[in-house]
Structure 1
């Protein structure tokens, strides 16, 4: 696409068209060739020497993953800006983070579908686990995502989760267990072992995914000033572990989950989900499960109520 087409599609990248802003990019909703699209534009103030390689890597990995149902479909790109812009099929996609932080008390009757039920959260976890397993096992070389978090996930109109950002991904050489690289990612989701050693492994994604599971379960972010100001733990891990030690399981859960009708079966699922998340965030990588085993366990948790 030309720069002129994307400027017209997004009203010159009007801030009112932004549906998501992240560290290096913004996502704009627009209309292109009579279809709704999402346009990812990397921020110019980050410097093209930084953002251009990120955008190119994003394009390459997304194209390699194009056949996977849980990857946002890349519709095209534009190379006329200082840094490439990516265009995705819209498909009713909404950032997962918006759904997680959506306030039930402010929701009108017709907005209730924006509130994530436990069934939806479990399905989203399963979807993203499948993508990460594909990254680790199905490409020519294992690829570590390095930035798994709710802001990099869209949920379409059918409730299907789609991973859409691969700009920080890195491949591990064949026959090697790790690759050395400076720590990148998002504080709170970043594997502390990788942060200290600079060794990227597949278990780095397992840690991030475990934190993602905790966010789905609690409806809270890994690091929260609001939580601290309320007299609670600044760290989500500390918050969860404190209530686990005190046998106060329900205080961990997002109240919106408790609003559902699941009975004892749902509670068993929630407890299994929490136990899996805590295994994923073990301090040492060797103590964490492989992503393929995480994906299998999530399927087992789902079937525990619906054989």
Structure 2
């Protein structure tokens, strides 16, 4: 019995030392130092214990895995207070970059934007850092674009709104924070949608902030094939325009409903969506590549405007690409003109419907009348419906 308790004591002591070792190696002391300097950090960056997160994920059970990528594995978990979270188990970080990692954690935890996933905190007691994010229930944009059996397929109105929200989130990161933040992995699988299809940009695993007076980062090339800025790939210089290129690919996905990379059946080679889209634009054959649903629901003028904007985002010369702020503004103008047009058409239809019924009633000498009701869905998921009785 004594041996058992001695074993338990030594094991507990060994586990404690191990946690302390990982905590120091992962930058825990630096984070504590920053918290002492600024107490507000503690309110926004919660330090979780490994015990809390093991309990939340049933010891990181495989059944809790939400997704796996180049930067780590994401698990679904439930905290003791009942809050559902997404827990990202990062891959090993370079010990030389610990300071930068902690600075990024503090910075990202202070980002407050309705279209950016909120970082709730981290755990530094494990071999690799664990990052805890708010959980978004409705999956990724990629899934909704590609799932042709989706109960609520993305209408053109919804796609345009999603494009605006993604652009606004990236514009915020680029220009509205104290230090510009480059996402560096913008893609449709990193764009989540909540239960109301509101955008939440996620996965800042390789994001970096830069000094205000700098214009680029010189780094090892990282990112996702199909979204990677060719200019960055050649020079290793990542600028805000590199995020713009990746956003351009997402915009083309929304327009075409196609995957960023697909295989050519004849040549068995992977062909990038960006290149296929640019070739269609040059040949003035946009209709060939557009999603049939988009072609049916969108007006020619607005589709052309958005397509030309995507073409500018994909310019091989980064300097000729628009900024995210300019993109957000241009997309919002298209969206507002679309809403104005829809409102005008609805009013016109209402007047015509009532006028025609009044004439019908007059001709037939009726003394009572029925009126037409025009009902507009509150959700973009359903088209405008006109009911008559």
TM-score normalised per structure 2:
0.68
Q: Does 1:94 align with 2:132?
A: no
Deviations 1:258-299 (A, max 9, x none): 5xx63xx53322221111011011011111112111110010
Q: Does 1:68 align with 2:113?
A: yes
Among 83, 92, 96, which residue is 1:35 paired with? Answer: 83
> Quick check: 1:126–1:298 contact (8 Å CA) kept in 2?
yes
Q: Does 1:240 align with 2:277?
A: yes
> Quick check: 1:48–1:82 contact (8 Å CA) kept in 2?
no
Q: Does 1:153 align with 2:191?
A: yes
**Shift of residue 52 of structure 1?**
7.9
Deviations 1:161-207 (A, max 9, x none): 11122222223333233232222211221111122122222111111
SS at match of 1:229: coil
Q: Does 1:303 align with 2:336?
A: yes
SS at match of 2:196: coil
> Quick check: 2:136–2:193 contact (8 Å CA) kept in 1?
no
Among 52, 56, 60, which residue is 1:9 paired with? Answer: 56
Q: Does 1:212 align with 2:245?
A: no
Greater mean deviation of Cα atoms: 247-256 or 132-141:
247-256
Query: For residues 192-211 of structure 1, what are the structure 2 equivalents within 5 Å?
Result: 192-211=230-249
**Shift of residue 121 of structure 1?**
1.6
Greater mean deviation of Cα atoms: 136-145 or 249-258:
249-258
How far apart, CA to CA, are the structure 2 residues paired with 1:241 and 1:91? Answer: 33
Counterpart of 1:249?
A: 286
**Shift of residue 305 of structure 1?**
1.1
How far apart, CA to CA, are the structure 1 residues paired with 2:270 and 2:289? Answer: 12
Number of equivalences: 290
CA radius of gyration, larger in: 2
Q: Which runs of 5+ in 2 are unaligned?
A: 1-47, 341-389
**Shift of residue 91 of structure 1?**
4.6
How far apart, CA to CA, are the structure 2 residues paired with 1:57 and 1:164? Answer: 18
Higher relative contact order (CA 8 A, sep 6+): 1
Shift in CA distance, 103/4, structure 1 to aligned 2, threshold 3 Å:
farther
